[in-house]
Chain A
Amino acid sequence: MVPHAQSEPHIEVHKFHPGVVAGAVFLALVLEVFLPRLLPRGAEYVELPFLVTLYFGLSRRNPITGLLLGMIIGLLQDGLTGRLIGLFGLAKTVVGFGASSIGGRIDVDHPLARLVLTGLFYLIHEGVLEVARRLLLGEAGAFLTIHLLLAMLLNALLAVLFFPALDRLRRT
C-alpha cells in the first residue's frame, strides 16, 4: 500500500494480505452473531466488527480504504440485524475514515494509544448511531449510560489484548 499523502514520513504504513483482512472481517461478523448464544450477558458489550474496522483503519492509514472497509463491514453487520440497512454502515464509515486519518499522523501501535483511541472511536461510533437513530428514525434515548461506558472500556481492553495478535499477520 502506498502511504497517504498526508501521512507523516516516519509513520510506517502496514500491509496485509487481502485474505487476512477478509478473514478477520468474516470472523468478527460470525462471532458477533454467535457470541450472544455463548455469553448472553457479556456479548452485548463487545463490538468485534468495530474493532476490526478500527484496527485496519489505524494500520493501513489510507482514509479512502479505511472508510470503504468500514462501510462494507457496517453494511454487512446491518444485514445481520433486524434494523434498516445503513446505520452501522454510517457509523463504521466514520470510524474507518477517522482511524486511518489519525493512523497516518501519529504512532498508534503503543498499547496506551490503542486503549485511548479505541475508547474515543467507540464513543464516536455510538454517537453516529445515536444521531442517525434520532434524526432519521426519530428514536430518542439516553446516550451516556453506564452500559455505554462499560462497553467502551471493554472494547478498549479487547483492542489492547487482540491487536498485537493481528500485528503478527502484517506483511513484512
Chain B
Amino acid sequence: MLPITSRHRPLVVLAATMLVQVLLLAVQIKRDQDVRLIRVWAVHLITPVQDVASWTWAKLAGAWQGYVALRGTYRENQALQQENQQLKLRLAQLEARAAEAERLAALLDFRHNYPDYPMVFARVIGASADRGTRILFVARGASDGLAKAMPVITPDGVVGRVEQVFAGTAQVLLLTDKESGVGAMLENSRTQGVIRGSGAPTLTLEYIVNEQPVAVGERVLTSGQDQIFPKGLPIGTVLHAEPGTELRSPFQKIVVRPSARLDRLEEVIVLLAREEMVPAEPRAALPAEARPARPPQ
C-alpha cells in the first residue's frame, strides 16, 4: 500500500490543489465575494516596486530622449556638440515638463471648476497582469479616502470605477473591461441605455430601441441611474449604429468610442462622492449636463 501511495503522491497533490482552487472559484462565484487576502498580498508585494519602476522609467525615458539619443549628433559635430546637447537636453526637459504641465493644468482647471466637490488626483502606475481584463493600478488607496465603486474620470471623460482598494494603491476597472457597465444616455434624445465594455478599445451602448434615431458623432453621457457615476459625465461618442439583427432584436447595435484616452492614461481623478457635479463657472469641460442642454429631439 505504501509504495502505491508514494508513487501516486504527486497525482494526489495535483488533484487536491486543483480541487481546492476549483472550490475557491466556486465560492467566489456562488457568494459573489472576493478572496481579498490573496489580492492584498499580491498587490502589496508588487505595487511598491511597480511605483518605483514607473517613476524610474519616466526619468530614464526623459534622459534617453534628452541626452542619450543625441550622442550620434555629438560625434558628427564636435565643435557644436556641447552647446547643442545642452540646448536639446534643456528643450527635451522643457517639452516633457510642458506636456506634464498641460496634463496637470487640465486636472487643476477641472479642480477649480468644482472646488467643493471631493476628489483626488491619482497617478497611474500599472496595468492588469491578465491581458483579458482591462484594469489599472493607481497610486492612491484607502488612506486617501478611496473606496470601492468610486467613479474614476479625466477631464475628457469617464475612465472607469474603483474595483479594489488597498492601503496606498487601488485597482481601477476600465470602461472597456468585459465586466464593466455604466448607466448612460444619448445627449440629444436623453434616451437611456447601458454602456458595456468588451475588452476591445470601443464600447457598446445597449438597450436603445430600433425606433430611436441615433446619429453618428452624438455624445453619450452618464445617466446617473447606476448609482455610481454622477449624471452628465461624457462617456464617448457614437461611432456606428445599426438596427439589431440577432433573433429580431428590438435593440440597436451601437458602438461608442470612449472620450477619455484609456490607452495612455497617466493621471486620473477619483471622485469621492456620487452626487451630481455642479460647476462653479460655466466654462467647465465637465460635466456636459451642466452646460446649456440642446433641446431633446
Q: Which residues of B contact A6 (CB under 8 A)?
A: 7
Q: Which residues of A contact B273 (CB under 8 A)?
A: none
Interface of B is mostly: helix
Instruction: Verify B14–A76 contact, CB threshold 8 A.
Output: no
**Which of the residues B21, B131, B264 comes within 8 Å of A44, measured between beta carbons?**
B131
Least distance between B253 CB and chain A CB atoms (Å): 19
**Which of the residues B9, B17, B28 comes within 8 Å of A68, measured between beta carbons?**
B17
Stretch at the interface among A12-20, A86-94, A155-163: A86-94
Given the contacts A26-B45, A34-B126, A85 and B38 also touching, CB distance less than 8 Å: yes
Given the contacts A64-B9, A90-B18, A93-B18, A82 and B41 also touching, CB distance less than 8 Å: no
In the assembled complex, the Cα of A33 lies from the Cα of B18 at a distance in Å of 25
Complex: chain A residue closest to B126, CB-CB: A33
Interface 1/0 per residue, A36-48 and B, CB below 8 Å: 1110100110000
Q: Which residues of B contact A75 (CB under 8 A)?
A: 21, 38, 42
In the assembled complex, the Cα of A2 lies from the Cα of B177 at a distance in Å of 45
Q: Which residues of A contact B135 (CB under 8 A)?
A: 81-82
Q: Which residues of B contact A33 (CB under 8 A)?
A: 46, 50, 126-129, 137
Q: Which residues of B contact A71 (CB under 8 A)?
A: 17, 21
Is B293 interfacial (CB-CB < 8 Å)?
Answer: no
Least distance between A47 CB and chain B CB atoms (Å): 9
Please tell me the size bucket of the interface on B.
35 or more
Instruction: Verify B25–A87 contact, CB threshold 8 A.
Output: yes
B185-211 interface (Cβ within 8 A of A): none
Instruction: Verify B128–A81 contact, CB threshold 8 A.
Output: yes
Complex: chain B residue closest to A93, CB-CB: B17
In the assembled complex, the Cα of A30 lies from the Cα of B43 at a distance in Å of 10
Interface 1/0 per residue, B107-151 and A, CB below 8 Å: 000000000000000001011111111110100000000000000
In the assembled complex, the Cα of A44 lies from the Cα of B263 at a distance in Å of 13
Is B240 interfacial (CB-CB < 8 Å)?
Answer: no
Interface of A is mostly: helix
Given the contacts A86-B22, A93-B14, A80 and B42 also touching, CB distance less than 8 Å: yes
B1-57 interface (Cβ within 8 A of A): 6-7, 9-10, 13-14, 17-18, 21-22, 24-26, 28-29, 34-35, 38-43, 45-46, 49-50, 53-54, 57
In the assembled complex, the Cα of A6 lies from the Cα of B50 at a distance in Å of 41
Instruction: Verify B41–A84 contact, CB threshold 8 A.
Output: no
Is A103 interfacial (CB-CB < 8 Å)?
Answer: no
Is A140 interfacial (CB-CB < 8 Å)?
Answer: no
Complex: chain A residue closest to B44, CB-CB: A79
Instruction: Verify A37–B54 contact, CB threshold 8 A.
Output: yes
Complex: chain B residue closest to A4, CB-CB: B10
Instruction: Verify A49–B129 contact, CB threshold 8 A.
Output: yes
In the assembled complex, the Cα of A69 lies from the Cα of B17 at a distance in Å of 11
Complex: chain A residue closest to B49, CB-CB: A30
Least distance between B178 CB and chain A CB atoms (Å): 8
Instruction: Verify B177–A38 contact, CB threshold 8 A.
Output: no
In the assembled complex, the Cα of A86 lies from the Cα of B28 at a distance in Å of 10
Given the contacts A30-B46, A33-B50, A76-B45, A85 and B129 also touching, CB distance less than 8 Å: no
Instruction: Verify B133–A83 contact, CB threshold 8 A.
Output: yes
**Which of the residues A63, A80, A84, A94 comes within 8 Å of B43, measured between beta carbons?**
A80
Instruction: Verify A29–B9 contact, CB threshold 8 A.
Output: no
Least distance between B220 CB and chain A CB atoms (Å): 23
Is A107 interfacial (CB-CB < 8 Å)?
Answer: no
B residues lining the A interface (CB < 8 Å): 6-7, 9-10, 13-14, 17-18, 21-22, 24-26, 28-29, 34-35, 38-43, 45-46, 49-50, 53-54, 57, 124, 126-135, 137, 163-164, 171, 173, 177, 179, 263-264
Q: Apart from A76-B38, A82-B171, list 19 A-B contacts with CB within 8 A.
A: A33-B46, A33-B127, A34-B50, A34-B57, A34-B126, A37-B126, A38-B57, A76-B41, A79-B42, A80-B43, A82-B163, A83-B132, A83-B133, A84-B29, A85-B35, A89-B24, A90-B22, A136-B22, A136-B26
A residues lining the B interface (CB < 8 Å): 4-6, 26, 29-30, 32-34, 36-38, 40, 43-44, 49, 63-64, 67-68, 71, 75-90, 93-94, 97, 101, 132, 136-137
> Can you list the 4 inter-chain pairs with the closest CB atoms, starting with the nearest?
A79-B42, A63-B10, A81-B130, A80-B129
